[in-house]
């Protein structure tokens, strides 16, 4: 047991170990962001479709499914953030030059701002959970509707109400743009860390990263903009 613990802590202590953890947890979070966006787009199918989906998530495994997913996601977010902050600190400490003279960089803006876009996304997720999951400062928990004769949470009405308020919509759009910047770099760099992308295939992974980030932005922004600017659902 202590041998396993020893090798795990040696793995985490090494820079490559931390990078692999950042890549693997990033992959899980990418899967979540894609799945969540596809689920959210059900709003365009109609009230019953998104409410049925929300109800299914809440009741899977007698209510245990959502908690397993929450704890899994929380663990991934914590590992991803703690390991990245530690890698950033170590790389800054190894480059005392960075505090004084700034050398011309060939890296992209997205790659240089990963830590900031990442921390802003974290702040957005906290706001988002208070807004749509904990229903802090609103009465969305009281929104109910009937589905197949059963009273369920009216997720459709909640999302329409949420994005009918301009400040929330603007904040979501800014967060989505930062998420897009974060994903565009993170996507290709995770395949590099895991050794899947080679020098030859790197440009393909880079393009795939931009395409993926653009898709996530377009899907999520379509929901916000169609409600806020075009009055969808009201």
Asked if residue 82 lies in contact with residue 25, where contact means CB atoms within 8 angstroms, the answer is: no
**Residue 157 found at the interface with ligand HEM (CB under 6 A):** no
User: Within a 10 A sphere around the Cβ of 85, how many other Cβ atoms?
Assistant: 13
The piece of 17-25, 98-106, 107-115, 219-227 that touches ligand HEM (CB under 6 A) is 219-227
CB of 125 to ligand HEM, least distance (A): 5
**Residue 98 found at the interface with ligand HEM (CB under 6 A):** no
The piece of 78-86, 88-96, 122-130, 180-188 that touches ligand HEM (CB under 6 A) is 122-130
The values of phi and psi at residue 152, to 5°, are -130, 165
**Residue 212 found at the interface with ligand HEM (CB under 6 A):** no
**Residue 21 found at the interface with ligand HEM (CB under 6 A):** no
Residues 162-181 that bind ligand HEM (CB under 6 A): 172, 179
What is each CA distance from 83 to 14, 22, 74, 86, 215, in whole angstroms?
Answer: 11, 7, 14, 5, 27
Asked if residue 42 lies in contact with residue 50, where contact means CB atoms within 8 angstroms, the answer is: yes
**H-assigned helices in 94-233:** 109-112, 114-128, 155-163, 166-193, 202-228
Which two three-digit tokens encode residue 190? Answer: 């995770």
What is each CA distance from 49 to 92, 162, 231, in whole angstroms?
Answer: 48, 18, 19
Contacts of residue 20, defined as CB under 8 A and 6 or more positions apart, other chains included, come to 193, 194
Q: Which of 20, 42, 121, 213 binds ligand HEM (CB under 6 A)?
A: 121
**Residue 133 found at the interface with ligand HEM (CB under 6 A):** yes
Binding mask 62-91 for ligand HEM (x = CB under 6 A): ----x---x--x------------------
Binding site for ligand HEM (CB under 6 A): 33, 36, 40, 54, 57-58, 66, 70, 73, 121, 125, 128-129, 132-133, 155, 159, 172, 179, 220, 223-224
């Amino acid at each position: 047991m202590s041998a396993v613990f020893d090798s795990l802590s040696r793995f985490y202590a090494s820079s490559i170990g931390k990078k692999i953890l950042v890549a693997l947890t990033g992959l899980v979070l990418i899967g979540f962001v894609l799945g969540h966006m596809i689920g959210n787009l059900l709003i365009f199918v109609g009230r019953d479709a998104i409410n049925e989906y929300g109800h299914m998530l809440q009741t899977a495994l007698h209510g245990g499914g959502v908690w397993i997913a929450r704890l899994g996601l929380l663990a991934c977010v914590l590992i991803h953030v703690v390991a990245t902050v530690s890698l950033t600190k170590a790389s800054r400490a190894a480059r005392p030059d960075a505090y004084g003279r700034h050398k011309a960089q060939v890296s992209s803006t997205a790659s240089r701002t990963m830590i900031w876009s990442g921390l802003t996304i974290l702040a957005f997720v906290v706001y988002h959970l208070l807004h749509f999951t904990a229903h802090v400062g609103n009465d969305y928990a009281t929104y109910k509707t009937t589905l197949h004769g059963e009273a369920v949470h009216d997720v459709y009405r909640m999302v329409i109400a949420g994005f009918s308020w301009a400040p929330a919509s603007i904040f979501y759009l800014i967060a989505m743009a930062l998420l897009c910047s974060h994903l565009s770099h993170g996507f290709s760099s995770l395949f590099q860390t895991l050794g899947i992308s080679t020098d030859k295939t790197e440009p393909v992974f880079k393009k795939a990263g931009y395409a993926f980030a653009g898709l996530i932005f377009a899907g999520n922004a379509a929901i916000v903009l169609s409600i806020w600017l075009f009055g969808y659902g009201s």
